[in-house]
Amino acid sequence: MPPCVVSRGLPMAYNRGMGRGAVVAVCLLLASGLPTRADDAPVVDIHAIADRVLAATVSVACSVDGGSFSGSGFAISPEGHVLTAASAVPQGATEVTVLLPGTRRLEATVMAVDENLGVALVKVPAEERLASLPLARRLPAVGDVAFTAADVDGVMLANGRASFSRGFVSGLYDVDKQPESPYAGRVIETTAAVNPGSDGGPLVDATGRVVGVISLAVSPQRWQGVAVPAAVVLERFAPLATVGVSVAGDDPTASVPAPPLDGLRRTASAVAPYLVGIEVERTWPPERLPRESWQEHRRSMAGWDRLSDAEKGSQFAAFAARAGLLDVNQLLRRPPGPVTGVVVSATGHVLTSSFNVGADTAFISQGSGRPRPSVSAPEADGRLVPRDNAIRRVVVVLADGSRREARVLARHEPLGIALLTIEAADLPWLDLAAAVSPQLGDHVAVVGLGSAAAGDETLNPGIVGAASRNRGYRFQTDALLNYGNSGGPVVDAFGSLLGIATAPIEPDTVQGRLFPRQQLMRWSRAPNSGVGFVARADRIRAVLDDLKAGRSFERFPGPFLGVQADESKAFGDDVVIGSVAPGSPAAKAGLKNGDVILAYDGVELSAWRDLTERIAAAKPGDAVVLTIRRSQRGPRLVIAGRDVETLDDLERLKKSLQPGESFAGRLETDDAREITVVLGEVR
């Protein structure tokens, strides 16, 4: 599988029975309640919830029009009623079976299917009472603990019960109808694992109540697992009125955030007033690939009834293969909808990711002069010409819903950010004076917008995985980063701003061309991959005045030394030089490949991050003293503070002397030495 589709919490927004096992784990209400800590704060007993959830998990499979479908489901009554997704049991389903825990398979009867709601109800013979789950009438809050369970990749048949995942509620927002799911309305987004085959499974809160049914109705801005709220299902799915389903009311113990997440929720709420939506119009609008359901495809085929069973199976397999390819290619498309920005001045300066206001690549047909309207099969490269999909217009949507024309004032490509400006006065704004440096292991959250509407803020928690990337201008986090929250603030649990989320995909977004599987290896990072990069707020603060003045930075600004690390020794404790750039300050000072830099102006170094951060904090023209260790054979001659070991060293010494200048030399035997370097400036 190409790396662009291997993403934590990233659903393939498609499950039309492509041979994927899909079982849902069902939650049970904890009979004995939740244990408490000494401070009376509730504690989630994950083992107890998992045991009860997995005891009620079922796998659902069926046939429709020659195609095979599978998904997850959960019992909602002891008498054998199972709630699942309409993508797992579509309208017209036959040969429906339910796999219970312990690998007991039973035939099921379809009681009702509501494709617009995205749910289905089936019933198995109640030979014995089934473990069942209560449905919650309330919506959870963003940041609440959440659980999912499913029979992904046939785990239930192999182990006797489904897999289980813990995460958090990361968003509450509305979705539109899509080819994969006709459901439109409010969804609950989660960071708990949602994978192909999870659809129909439960989203469960900390008390064991089902708050939602996992759905294929993902937002193209977010590409995260979502659930249709149980409250919506209870209200709109009439067949539940005839079932003895347990319904749970409001319970204050359902919201049980871990201590770091509780702080992250408070910080996210504090920065929410400064968030804005950004709408970007480009030369060619966002491309939606022609994905369709199997039923739609089947109805478009002539002579279907005359095909043999083998021919029908072959047609379904070909459809499934093409549909999977379209799914992955859609992930590479920049989606429609607003992206996230942060107001950083009362007079209308807005920070966002440079990715959000960048040009993607459109492959243009030489015949029509436009991105091709059909992607039924990859075209020869010679018929498609890559072009920048340039920006035509940018609009900022403020928290009160008002819209302002914006322009890109400046960019900082090393940081991965852009500064926009709008006509405004007295806006609430986020002061970067409180920005702090990230530390490895810090609990953080990426805050974004599920839509441009106020109150639709999203929160994706994680930790700092690497405090310094891109020469110290960015840091790395495993918090899920996607098209929707790129450009949003990244905060910690103590109320501090750590940075701005940058591009969610690498190397770029495309449209107008369908890439075959072997070419998808080009994309090394995809949305929600668990590897996200964040522009450090302390670095942004240092250049914000320059950006406000309209100065852009295409390359890493500031001072430079002119050395690169020896990658073979990058994971050791020594700062070893792997190469020295010709003509650089390091070359002029006589630094060599293999030198070990021990100290910078008397401060010991133990990692390349120490060196890069000290250089970044300096100014061009600063003279710094590097203590280095250089392996040598025998004594060396030091004249005027310079090593003279070769003819080149002697020539450099001669050029540095003034006429009539005198000097003294001495013989040294120590491997350690001090070298003074005058830092250069990146231009």
For residue 327, the model assigns a pLDDT of 87
Checking if the pLDDT of 533 tops 90, the result is: yes
pLDDT digits (tens, 9 = 90+) for 32-67: 233 333 334 456 788 999 999 999 989 999 998 888
Checking if the pLDDT of 528 tops 60, the result is: yes
CATH 2.40.10.120 fits 3-248, yes or no: yes
For residue 1, the model assigns a pLDDT of 26
244 or 51, greater pLDDT: 51
pLDDT digits (tens, 9 = 90+) for 325-354: 888 899 999 999 899 999 999 999 999 999
Question: pLDDT band for position 259 (50/70/90)?
Answer: low
328 or 657, greater pLDDT: 328
Question: pLDDT band for position 634 (50/70/90)?
Answer: low
**DSSP assignment of 311-353:** HHHHHHHHHHHHHHHHHHHHHTSPPSS-EEEEE-STT-EEEEE
Question: pLDDT band for position 370 (50/70/90)?
Answer: confident
pLDDT digits (tens, 9 = 90+) for 578-627: 899 898 999 988 898 988 999 999 999 888 878 888 887 888 899 999 99
Checking if the pLDDT of 557 tops 90, the result is: no
For residue 574, the model assigns a pLDDT of 85
For residue 255, the model assigns a pLDDT of 64
Considering the chain, tell me which residue range(s) the CATH 2.30.42.10 domain(s) occupy.
559-681
- Is the torsion defined by CA of 374, 378, 384, 388 positive or negative? positive
Return the residue matching tokens 């109150």: 455
For residue 321, the model assigns a pLDDT of 87
Average pLDDT score, the chain: 84
Let me know how many helices (H) and strands (E) the chain has, helices first: 10, 42
- The answer to whether the CB of 434 falls within 8 A of the CB of 497 is yes
Single-letter amino acid code for the residue at 421: T
160 or 382, greater pLDDT: 160
CA–CA distance, 481 with 505 (Å, rounded to integer) = 9
For residue 507, is the peptide bond before it cis, meaning its omega torsion is within 30 degrees of 0?
yes
CA–CA distance, 195 with 224 (Å, rounded to integer) = 10
Question: pLDDT band for position 18 (50/70/90)?
Answer: very low
How many angstroms separate the most distant Cα atoms in the chain?
Answer: 107
Beta strand 532-536 pairing with 497-501: antiparallel
What's the fold here for domain 272-288+333-548? Answer: Thrombin, subunit H (2.40.10)
pLDDT digits (tens, 9 = 90+) for 21-34: 222 222 222 222 33
CA–CA distance, 420 with 405 (Å, rounded to integer) = 10
664 or 80, greater pLDDT: 80
For residue 629, the model assigns a pLDDT of 87
pLDDT digits (tens, 9 = 90+) for 402-454: 999 999 999 999 999 999 999 998 999 999 987 888 999 999 999 998 876 66
Question: Which tokens belong to 504?
Answer: 């969610």
Percent of the chain with pLDDT over 90: 50
**Neighbour tally for 666: CB within 10 Å:** 9
- The answer to whether the CB of 359 falls within 8 A of the CB of 388 is yes
Q: pTM of the prediction?
A: 0.77
Checking if the pLDDT of 6 tops 60, the result is: no
- 140-144, 431-435, 570-574: which has the highest mean pLDDT? 140-144
Tell me the average pLDDT across 80-101: 94
**CATH class for the domain made up of 559-681:** mainly beta
Question: pLDDT band for position 106 (50/70/90)?
Answer: very high
Considering the chain, tell me which residue range(s) the CATH 2.40.10.120 domain(s) occupy.
3-248, 272-288+333-548
CA–CA distance, 566 with 586 (Å, rounded to integer) = 15
Question: Which tokens belong to 293?
Answer: 């359901």
- The answer to whether the CB of 563 falls within 8 A of the CB of 598 is no
Tell me the average pLDDT across 154-175: 93
pLDDT digits (tens, 9 = 90+) for 67-78: 889 999 999 999
Percent of the chain with pLDDT over 70: 87
Tell me the average pLDDT across 11-30: 27
Tell me the average pLDDT across 539-549: 95
pLDDT digits (tens, 9 = 90+) for 470-516: 878 899 999 999 999 999 999 999 989 999 999 999 888 999 888 88
